[in-house]
């Protein structure tokens, strides 16, 4: 008795489910897409959901390009090597975006490829992605360390990176035989043997910053590219915080100059007030001659 009673609701549910399934949105869309394809095969115009094959190819290329670029950016996020590693991919994506923006499509207005991909909906994924990559590239300031319109780092950036590599290598050599995590480390050797390399690196960085500030007036940003900034940040922290070496004195010279100037200000003040009061005394002694001088000027003015 029990089995048939339990089977009945199941059968009802199944039939209901099947009936509901026919109305499911997924199947409806498939039907519409199929109809659209049929309509197009029959040569009928209309705002069809399908892209032209050429347009579809452009979109696929952009999709693959942006996947590769975002992969590169994420993999090179730490330590920062964005500009060195992903420049080619970024330029490639710019070309692909440009291709889409220029793709007009060859048939009717409704088939305009650029319009269809870039502006047809509220979300505009392709535009959003392109804008994101542009902003990231801009914020990283990569233009600042990459050669004009071509592969590779600019000369000064290459020089900086070579020095950076040399500094790290020097640190490594002079730390050999010391376990980094043993607390009482003796970094005397590192500080002594790498101070030349470190000083060169620091000087070059300061020079690049100065040059960049000069360019800033002609529309550049105040930051060096993130690869260079991060490399210097890491090295400075290692040098002064981890190794506890002294900072090179090139930075302290202006500080000393300014402090000694301020220290001397009181002396200058008293000296000048002393001289001033002396001058006043002399003026008090000699009022008559000044007056006679003035009358002489008056006479000269009358006769001129
Ligand atoms: C238009 O596009 C179709 C298919 O995409 C292609 O076969 C045809 O040659 C194109 N016509 C022109 C004028 O570009
Ligand atoms: C991204 O930058 C390129 C080149 O500067 C530009 O052509 C493109 O329109 C930008 N993309 C967006 C979405 O603004
Ligand atoms: C980079 O190219 C721009 C024009 O695209 C040019 O004005 C500028 O002088 C170039 N800079 C260098 C360093 O070649
Ligand atoms: C960069 O370096 C290369 C090779 O060392 C050299 O040929 C080129 O002139 C340099 N460019 C600049 C702008 O200094
Ligand atoms: C420095 O550069 C050399 C060769 O270019 C490379 O083999 C080495 O791994 C680099 N060292 C560091 C610490 O990046
Ligand atoms: C560190 O090592 C140097 C020589 O390698 C030695 O002269 C110095 O005394 C050591 N300092 C400490 C605190 O161990
Ligand atoms: C590095 O430090 C050592 C010892 O303190 C010193 O003899 C040497 O002149 C320094 N080198 C540079 C380039 O400052
Ligand atoms: C340098 O490192 C500190 C801490 O790690 C960070 O807060 C700062 O933003 C870094 N500076 C640059 C220019 O990357
Ligand atoms: C760094 O060195 C100074 C003396 O040169 C010392 O007073 C200070 O405690 C050291 N700091 C660290 C974190 O080792």
Residue 148 CA: which ligand is closest? 3
Residue nearest to atom 8 of ligand 8 (CA): 233
110-119, 146-155, 195-204, 243-252: segment of lowest average pLDDT: 243-252
Any idea which residue has 């190794």 for tokens?
243
Residue 147 CA: which ligand is closest? 3
CA–CA separation, 261 vs 244, rounded Å? 30
Ligand 1 pocket test: which of 45, 102, 106, 112 has the largest number of ligand atoms within 8 Å of its C-beta?
Answer: 106
Give the pLDDT score at 20: 45
Residue nearest to atom 9 of ligand 5 (CA): 165
Give the pLDDT score at 13: 45
Ligand 8 pocket member 233 (CB < 6 A): yes
Give the pLDDT score at 52: 81
Output the CA 74–ligand 2 centroid distance in Å: 21
3-7, 43-47, 211-215, 277-281: segment of lowest average pLDDT: 3-7
Residue 34 has pLDDT above 80, yes or no: no
The helix/strand/coil state of 296 is helix
Burial of 7 (0-12, 13-18, 19+ CB in 10 A): exposed
CA–CA separation, 95 vs 73, rounded Å? 18
Q: Which atom of ligand 5 is nearest to the CA of 166?
A: 1
Residue nearest to atom 11 of ligand 5 (CA): 165
Give the pLDDT score at 27: 58
Give the pLDDT score at 7: 46
Output the CA 174–ligand 6 centroid distance in Å: 13
What region, left, alpha or beta, does residue 244 occupy, with left being phi > 0 and alpha being psi -120 to 50 degrees? Answer: left
Q: Which atom of ligand 7 is nearest to the CA of 191?
A: 2
Residue nearest to atom 11 of ligand 1 (CA): 106
Ligand 1 pocket member 106 (CB < 6 A): yes
φ, ψ (nearest 5 deg) of residue 96: -65, -40
pLDDT band at 37 (very low <50, low <70, confident <90, very high): low
Q: Are 194 and 174 contacting, i.e. CB atoms less than 8 angstroms apart?
A: yes
Any idea which residue has 């499509």 for tokens?
105
Residue nearest to atom 8 of ligand 1 (CA): 106
Output the CA 114–ligand 5 centroid distance in Å: 45
Q: What average pLDDT does the structure give for the chain?
A: 75
- The ligand 2 site (C-beta within 6 Å) comprises 94, 97, 127, 130-131, 134
């Amino acid at each position: 008795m029990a089995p048939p009673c339990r089977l009945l609701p199941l059968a009802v549910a199944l039939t209901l489910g099947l009936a509901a399934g026919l109305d499911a949105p997924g199947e409806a869309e498939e039907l519409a897409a199929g109809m659209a394809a049929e309509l197009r095969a029959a040569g009928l115009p209309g705002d069809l959901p399908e892209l032209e094959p050429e347009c579809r190819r452009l979109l696929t290329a952009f999709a693959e390009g942006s996947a590769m670029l975002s992969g590169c950016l994420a993999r090179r996020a730490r330590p920062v090597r964005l500009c060195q590693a992903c420049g080619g991919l970024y330029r490639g994506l710019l070309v692909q975006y440009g291709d889409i923006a220029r793709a007009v499509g060859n048939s009717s207005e409704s088939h305009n490829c650029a319009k269809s991909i870039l502006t047809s909906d509220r979300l505009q994924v392709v535009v959003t992605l392109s804008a994101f990559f542009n902003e990231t590239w801009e914020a990283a300031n990569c233009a600042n360390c990459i050669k004009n319109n071509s592969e590779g780092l600019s000369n000064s950036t290459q020089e900086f990176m070579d020095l950076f590599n040399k500094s790290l290598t020097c640190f490594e050599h002079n730390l050999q035989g010391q376990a980094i995590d043993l607390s009482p480390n003796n970094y005397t050797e590192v500080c002594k043997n790498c101070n030349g390399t470190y000083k060169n690196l620091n000087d070059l960085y300061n020079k690049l910053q100065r040059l960049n500030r000069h360019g800033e007036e002609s529309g550049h940003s105040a930051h060096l590219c993130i690869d260079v900034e991060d490399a210097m940040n890491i090295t400075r922290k290692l040098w002064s915080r981890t190794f506890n070496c002294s900072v090179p004195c090139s930075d302290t010279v202006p500080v000393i100059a300014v402090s000694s100037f301020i220290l001397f200000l009181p002396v200058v003040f008293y000296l000048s007030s002393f001289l001033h009061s002396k001058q006043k005394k002399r003026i008090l002694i000699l009022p008559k001659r000044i007056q006679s001088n003035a009358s002489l000027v008056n006479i000269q003015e009358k006769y001129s």
